[in-house]
């Protein structure tokens, strides 16, 4: 099914305020390398036609760490930090004429594997879904968004942890923040979302509700390895990532 083109959008604009460091989040060192290098390395195992990095804080430095990885890497700047949905939308002008799929992920997830990303892309294409999203099934409490399903088990939407009710917080399937969209619908969905939430941000997750409400199919690829979708948001996370790296070794 490789005849369908694939664009990858890496969200790499964040400051990483909770890391208490002058470095942008994706520049934080892990195993002596910037975090962003790990996902760039992983993407060498995912056949793609376009690679776009959304930059913001310390844009020049983030560009520099991307140099040499791919010959045609593209950059777009998020000048205001208004959420993941806003960040993803910055790539729209570059993809306005693109026909294919868009794989969206964050630059602070060093243990994602090419195998999982390829499975997600295959799922979207095999099912014809408007979006395939990666989820974590885990009994341990997480502060991630919860995957909300209907009585028949179909994905209805994603509720962010800060906006979840007590009942929704009991859900043990979590959003991993990795998506494969049909590009024809992706930016239409993004243009529909608002910032009526606790953070007053534009959530990328709200695109899922839009697609479901408009009767488009959404499929989830469920995994159980919490380490693989581990994102770096604090110093404690960075320390834990060093431990995981020591146990697993570099993710290829």
Q: Would you place residue 249 in the very low, low, confident or very high pLDDT band (cuts 50, 70, 90)?
A: low
Q: What's the number of domains the chain is made of?
A: 1
Q: Would you place residue 17 in the very low, low, confident or very high pLDDT band (cuts 50, 70, 90)?
A: confident
Position 134 in a domain: yes
Residues classed as catalytic: 18
- Which residues of the chain form beta strands (DSSP E)? 6-12, 29-30, 33-34, 50-55, 74-77, 101-106, 131-137, 146-149, 155-159, 173-182, 218-223
Position 135 in a domain: yes
Q: Would you place residue 1 in the very low, low, confident or very high pLDDT band (cuts 50, 70, 90)?
A: very low
**120-160, pLDDT tens digit by residue?**
999 999 999 999 999 999 988 788 999 999 999 999 999 98
CATH of the domain at 94: 3.90.550.10
Position 22 in a domain: yes
**67-110, pLDDT tens digit by residue?**
889 889 999 999 988 999 999 999 999 999 999 999 999 999 99
Position 1 in a domain: no
Position 57 in a domain: yes
Position 74 in a domain: yes
Position 69 in a domain: yes
Q: Which domain holds residue 41?
A: 6-248
User: Average pLDDT for residues 163-186, to the nearest whole number?
Assistant: 94
Position 215 in a domain: yes
């Amino acid at each position: 099914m490789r005849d369908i083109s694939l664009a990858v959008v890496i969200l790499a604009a964040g400051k990483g305020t909770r890391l208490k460091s002058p470095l942008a989040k994706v520049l934080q060192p892990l195993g002596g390398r910037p975090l962003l290098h790990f996902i760039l390395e992983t993407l060498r195992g995912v056949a793609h036609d376009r690679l776009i990095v959304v930059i913001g804080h310390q844009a020049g430095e983030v560009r520099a760490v991307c140099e040499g990885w791919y010959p045609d890497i593209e950059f777009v700047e998020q000048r205001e930090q208004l959420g993941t949905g806003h960040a993803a939308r910055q790539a729209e002008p570059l993809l306005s004429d693109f026909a294919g799929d868009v794989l969206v992920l964050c630059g602070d997830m060093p243990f994602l594997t090419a195998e999982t990303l390829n499975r997600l892309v295959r799922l979207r294409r095999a099912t014809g879904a408007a979006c395939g999203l990666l989820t974590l099934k885990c009994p341990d409490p997480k502060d991630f968004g919860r995957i909300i399903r209907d009585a028949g088990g179909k994905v209805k939407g994603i509720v962010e942890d800060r906006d979840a009710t007590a009942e929704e917080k009991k859900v043990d399937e979590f959003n991993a923040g990795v998506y494969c969209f049909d590009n024809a619908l992706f930016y239409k969905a993004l243009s529909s979302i608002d910032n009526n939430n606790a953070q007053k941000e534009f959530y990328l997750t709200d695109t899922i509700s839009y697609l479901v409400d408009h009767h488009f199919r959404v499929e989830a690829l469920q995994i159980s390895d919490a380490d693989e979708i581990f994102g770096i948001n604090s110093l404690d996370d960075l320390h834990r990532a060093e431990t995981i790296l020591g146990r697993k070794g570099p993710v290829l």
